[in-house]
Every structure is written in C-alpha cells, then in structure tokens.
Amino acid sequence: MSSFAGAVARIKGDVARAVPAALIRRAAAAVGHTGRDRILDPVATTHLALHRALHGGTAITHLRHLTPRTFTPSAYCQAVARLPESFFYLLQVLVTGRVRDDRPEGRWRGHRLFLIDGSSVSMPDTPELQAAFGQPPGQKPGCGFPVAHLLALFDARTGYLLTTVLAPLRTHDLAHAAATHPEMRPGDVLVGDRAFGSFAHLALLARRGLHGVFRLHQRRVAGAANDRRATYPKPTRRPVWMAADEYAALPPAIPVREVRVRVRTAGRRVRHLILVTTLLDRRRYPRRELARIYERRWQVEVNLRSLKVTLGLDVLRSKTADGVRKEVRAFGVAYNLVRRVMRDAADRQGVGVDRISFVDALRWLRVAGPRGEVPALVVHPARPGRFDPRVRKRRPKQYDLMTRPRAELKRELRQPVAA
C-alpha cells in the first residue's frame, strides 16, 4: 500500500478497518462532495481527524510525526475545511451504525434505554467563536474563552454516543432535546434529570411513542402517595425554546405517573426521590424497578467524563464555528471506536462493558496494527454504591485570575520601574 491513506491505515489499522475508505467515499458522495485527487483526500483527511481526536485533539504538527508523509498545518486545515459539516454528521451516523450493538439481550423489560444530558465545551478565544457561542456571564471581554452547550444522547447498555447537538452557551437542555428523538424508535425509554421532565418534552415523547423516566421538575409539587397517576394540564405559557405552532399542536393534557422512592444508599445527597414517567402500568413497571432505572442515569456522567476529560473534548482546538462542529463530530466517532473496543473486550472477558477501562481501550486503539486482536483489557472491580465527596485534593497554582485583557496587562508590565 503506497498511497498516503494506505500508510495511515498501517499506522492506525484498527481505525481504518472500522472506518474503511469505501465508507468515507460513500459519505462524501452522499453529501455531494467532489474534488480532484490530492494527498489529503477525504479518506486521508478523515483518518487524520480521527487520529487527532484519539490523541486528545493534539496539535496538527504532532500528526506529522504519526504518519510517514509530511504536510503543513495549513494544508490539513484546508483539507478539513473542504469537507462540509454534513459529511462529518453522516460519517458519525454511518460509523455508529456499524459498531452499534442492537441485540435484544440485556433490554429492560423489552425496552431499549437511552441516557440524555447536557454539558459544555471550551474553545479558543476568537471573535467568530465568541459571536457564535458566547462565554460565561461575569467574564469581561478578552478575559475568558467561548463556551458551547453540548447535548448528548447515549445508549444505556453499550455506552455508544448516538448524537450530539452543539449550541450557544445560554441554551437550555430542552431546547434541542427533540432533535435527539429520531435516534429512538417507539417503545424506547429516555432517562434524564429534572431538566427534561417538563410537560412539553413529555408530550413530544408520547407523540412519537417514546417513554421517559425523569426526576420531577422543580416547579411541580407532587402528591403525597408513593405511586400515583396524575394528569398534567398544558401550561398557558409556552416554553421559549418551542415554536408557537409546535406548542399549539400539543395535547391539552397528558397522563403521567409520579413515583416517590426513599434513597437508603449511603453517600447520596438526597433521601427521597420523586420520578415522573409515562410508563403507567404499575404491575409491569414496579416502583423499585423505575428507581433502579433512574439510578443508571449516573452512567451518563461517566460517559461524558470519558468523552471530555479522557478523550479531550473538554477543550477544542478549532478557531472557527464550522471547524468546532466538525471537531465535535470527529470526537464522537473516536469515542464510539473506543467503546467498540470495550464491547469486544467485554464479550471475550465475560464482564459488563462498563467494567472495561476506557483509558486502557483508548491506549490500545492508539497503537493497534492492521490485524491487531483486542487483548485482555483492564477490568475495574464491581463497586456498587461507591461514592466520593465532590472536592479537589490537588491545589491549583496560586495565580490571580485574568480580570483585564492580556494586552492591557502587558502594557503595564512594559512600564519602566520607578527608581
């Protein structure tokens, strides 16, 4: 294999096997991308983008040391810019479809479970990104970084990332929750925190034949019964994230079920939990079962930690809004490739996929050869009920926070020192 793509495949054999050239060309053709033959064609550029994501969004100059050919950072940026965002979205869909495990084993009472949650990612301080995403309030111009709101949907059983929605920082989790619903099919169950338990979201789920299990919304007052059916009337006020015609199409009321559970596990911050769900059958869906389903919601926090901290999505490197969105898609594909390695190792080692070390799977994937077999990976011990205080032991450096633009601070440093 003498081509550049072939050389990349030799170095990153397992990635090239999971994301073959034919799949990449198919995605490019589907979005109408055409171009002349060049060193950084769509196949080579895609493999390099995945390579970069697997190395924590490493510098482009580092990529040159991981491949047998040399190219400039400008050439790589231009190659990525030539590929439309729709290409990266379709690639994420196609790759996820290839690695996704949809076997009926392990479903909860015949239902597939999905986890949803919102988070945020930081990026370079450029005017374009400031305008597109904004920064946290309270930070003066030039003293902070743009931050985007990230909504993520995960498969609860396998941990695969099914879709992401990137939006400005001041965006509510519910604003784009409906955009994740097409990833599910009737009968599926979505699990999330109290931000997703509003009337509008429950009604949108019911319209698609989907179910939800959420913590009771903070504005609602639950009844005294431990398990009761209730009817939620349509609020007179429309949510700001929903169009008027969409809200008008919702039903005047929806039936729900409110479940009160006492939390006896040590280390939990709450002693009582109130859930709202559209699973109305008490016999088929007992109260304790719903509580255990909601307890699995914590796995979304672990998945986000793997995606943002371990893989490196927390701080993006692209300096344009288009580049940031493509970078997030590349990270999503890379994350799912790691989860696929974890799934293969779990099947061979006879343990649950969430007990396989994400870090160990990532390390192996970075050095896997073209025909590398997944080895026995590190297995975490089963520690149900584990908890830790939310504190930091390692102290940060004792530097002052930036409260004025850097240029202004540098001007002060240039001033001559008084005798």
Together in a domain, 332 and 353: yes
Q: Is residue 235 part of a domain?
A: yes
- Could you report the per-residue pLDDT of 2-13, keeping only the tens digit for each? 343 443 444 345
Q: Is residue 219 part of a domain?
A: yes
Segment of 27-36, 92-101, 145-154, 361-370 carrying the highest mean pLDDT: 145-154
Q: Is residue 22 part of a domain?
A: yes
**Which domain, by its residues, includes 237?**
107-303
Name the residue with tokens 């390579």: 51
Q: Where are the beta strands (DSSP E) in 37-126?
A: 113-122
- Which among 260, 280, 303 is the end of a domain? 303
For the chain, the domain total comes to: 2
Cα–Cα distance for residue pair 177/173, rounded to 1 Å = 7
What is the torsional sign of CA 210, 211, 214, 220? positive
Q: Cα 311 vs. chain centroid, distance in angstroms?
A: 11
| 71 pLDDT tier (thresholds 50, 70, 90) | confident
Q: Is residue 20 part of a domain?
A: yes
Q: Is residue 176 part of a domain?
A: yes
Together in a domain, 119 and 36: no
Together in a domain, 33 and 129: no
Q: What's the mean per-residue pLDDT of the chain? A: 87
Section 319-347 average pLDDT: 93
Which of 142, 53, 124 is CA-nearest to residue 319? 124
Instruction: Please check whether residue 24 is in contact with residue 46, taking contact to mean a CB–CB distance below 8 angstroms.
Output: yes
Q: Is residue 310 part of a domain?
A: no
- Could you report the per-residue pLDDT of 126-169, keeping only the tens digit for each? 999 999 999 998 888 888 899 999 999 999 999 999 999 999 99
Q: Looking at per-residue confidence, does 96 or 282 come out higher?
A: 282
Cα–Cα distance for residue pair 284/94, rounded to 1 Å = 35
Classify residue 266 by its DSSP letter: T
Q: Cα 390 vs. chain centroid, distance in angstroms?
A: 22
H or E element at residue 150: strand 147-155
Cα–Cα distance for residue pair 220/29, rounded to 1 Å = 50
> How much is the pLDDT for 245?
93
Q: Is 79 exposed, middle or buried (0-12, 13-18, 19+ CB in 10 A)?
A: buried
Together in a domain, 123 and 158: yes
Segment of 50-64, 88-102, 198-212, 398-412 carrying the highest mean pLDDT: 198-212
- Could you report the per-residue pLDDT of 14-53, keeping only the tens digit for each? 677 778 889 999 999 999 887 777 788 898 899 899 989 9
Which of 415, 376, 359 is CA-nearest to residue 54? 359
Segment of 99-113, 320-334, 395-409 carrying the highest mean pLDDT: 320-334
Cα–Cα distance for residue pair 237/250, rounded to 1 Å = 13
Section 240-258 average pLDDT: 93
Together in a domain, 360 and 278: no
Together in a domain, 54 and 181: no
Q: Is residue 42 part of a domain?
A: yes
> How much is the pLDDT for 329?
94
